[in-house]
Homo-oligomer: A and B are copies of this chain.
Amino acid sequence: MRRDVFQAIADPTRRAILTLIAMQAMTPNALAEHFDTSRQAVSKHIKVLTECQLVKQEVSGREIYYHFNPKKMKEVDRWLEPFRNLWEDRFNKLDIVLNQLKKK
């Protein structure tokens, strides 16, 4: 089964889950209250996020708190890195050229 970070963040609900637990660790039930879907559906999303290590567990009695794992998110950032040059450097250079043309 393919279980990489890119596939994990492809789902909007999972992205929302990540945003929520990045601010504060939460239990599946607490998370489910933020969405229109069932507790089980949220739990399945959490499973996907856990399997690709974007999320870590912290068991506390019968509750399980899920934490965001920033390290794993770095993978997306690393993949993005070479593309970033395309919209930063070259674009800035283009801006400079355009500004110089306007002055004339």
Interface residues of A (CB under 8 A from B): 4, 6-7, 9-10, 12, 15, 18-19, 22, 68, 70-71, 73-74, 76-77, 79-80, 82-84, 86-87, 90-91
Q: Nearest chain-B residue to A19 (Cβ)?
A: B82
Closest to A7 in B: B10
**A33–B6 CA distance with the chains assembled, in angstroms:** 24
Q: Inside 8 A of A77's CB, which chain B residues have their CB?
A: 80, 84
A8's nearest neighbour on chain B, judged by CB, is B10
Could you list 15 further interchain pairs (A-B, Cβ under 8 angstroms) beyond the known A70-B91, A77-B80? A4-B12, A7-B10, A22-B82, A22-B83, A22-B86, A70-B86, A70-B90, A71-B87, A73-B80, A73-B86, A73-B87, A74-B87, A76-B76, A76-B80, A80-B80
